[in-house]
Amino acid sequence: MRPLAFQLLRELSHQRFTSGVVLAQKFGVSRAAVSEALHDAGESGVEIFSLTRRGYRLAAPIELLDIDVLRDALGVTAKRLNLEVVETIASTNTELMSRAADGAPSGTCIAAEMQTAGRGRRGRVWQSAFASSLTFSLLWRFDRGAAHLGGLSLVVGLAVVRALHELGVSREVALKWPNDVLAGHRKLAGVLIESQGDMLGPTAVVIGVGINVRLPTALKESIDQPATDIDTIAGAEISRNTLLAAVLRQLVTALDEFQRDGFARFKAEWIRLHALHDKPVRVLHADGSVVETTVCGVADDGALLVRQHGRELALASGEISLRAVGSEKRTNAK
C-alpha cells in the first residue's frame, strides 16, 4: 500500500463516515488520491464502506502498532530492544539478516503491519493481511556457535505460548515440533530461525515470528492447512500492541535462560505442551520417503525422539515434516 493509505486508515473510524473532501484537505491531496489510496487498502484486505456524499468508514476497527504504546507495555524489557515498527516490508527476516551482516546490535527488532513477501520454513510463503497478524523479527547474538543452539525454535514457540497464557489465552493452545503453535490442531503461529556465523564461534540469529490475530475469512480459507487466530480462540479481541509486548517480554526472558542453560531447562515444559507427544505420526523425509512412527519426547538438543521398531531414534530439525496419522494436509511451519 502507498504511504497515504496508512495515514488515511489511522484517520478513519468504524463508527462514523468521514468525508473524502475532509480527508483530502487534511492531507493536502486530491479526492482522487484519497479514493485510490483507500482502494489499495481494500485490495490489501481492509474492508471499507463508501457512500456517496457521506464518505468512508471502516467495516471494523483496526488497531495499528504504536511504538510508544509498545515501549510502555514492554516496561524494563524496552531497554533490551531496539524496536522499530514499519508499515510495509517485503520480509522482516530478510531485512534483519541484512542488518545483522552490517553489524546491527543484539535486540534489534522489526515489526511490520504488512509483509509483501513473508517467508516460511523451507521456502514456503507466510500469508498475512494488513493489520490482521503480528509479524516481527528479532536479532539476537549468541556467544556460542550454531552447534550449541539446538532447540532454539522450540524455545521461541514456548515463549509465544507463555505470552498467550499470560494474557489468559490458553484454550487448546499447544506446540508442534519444531516450530509451530497450534490451537485446536489448527495453526496459530509459526517460527522461522535463520543464522549467521560458524559452528564454533559467535552466532547472529534472526528469529521470525508470525501470529494470526484476526484473519479475514478469505485469507483463512486460502491457507493450505487448517488455521485459526487469536480472536477465534480467545472469544474476544486482544490488542495487537499488548500481544506483541507480551511475546517480546517472554522471548527476551526465554533467550536469556537459553543462553545460560540451553534447551534442557525447557524440555519438560515443552513436552507437556506438545500436541503430538505419544501420538502416531508420519515422518516425511526430504527424499520423499514416508515412515509411520510414534513420538516419545525431545532430546536436550531439541531433536525429536520417536519409537521405531522398538528403538528410540532422534530426528533433527530441518530434515523432516510431521503430521498426525490420519490428517489430510501437510503441516507448514513459518
Which residues are known to be catalytic?
Answer: 121, 187, 323
Query: Are 53 and 18 spatial neighbours (Cβ–Cβ below 8 Å)?
Result: no
Nearest to 247 by CA among 107, 100, 119, 136: 136
Q: Cα–Cα distance between 192 and 189 in angstroms, integer?
A: 10
C-alpha cell at 93: 527476516
Inter-CA distances, 151 with 75, 86, 124, 298, Å: 28, 29, 21, 9
C-alpha cell at 319: 530434515
Query: Are 211 and 40 spatial neighbours (Cβ–Cβ below 8 Å)?
Result: no
Q: Cα–Cα distance between 313 and 228 in angstroms, integer?
A: 32
Q: Is 193 exposed, middle or buried (0-12, 13-18, 19+ CB in 10 A)?
A: buried
Q: Return the residue matching grid coordinates 539478516.
A: 97
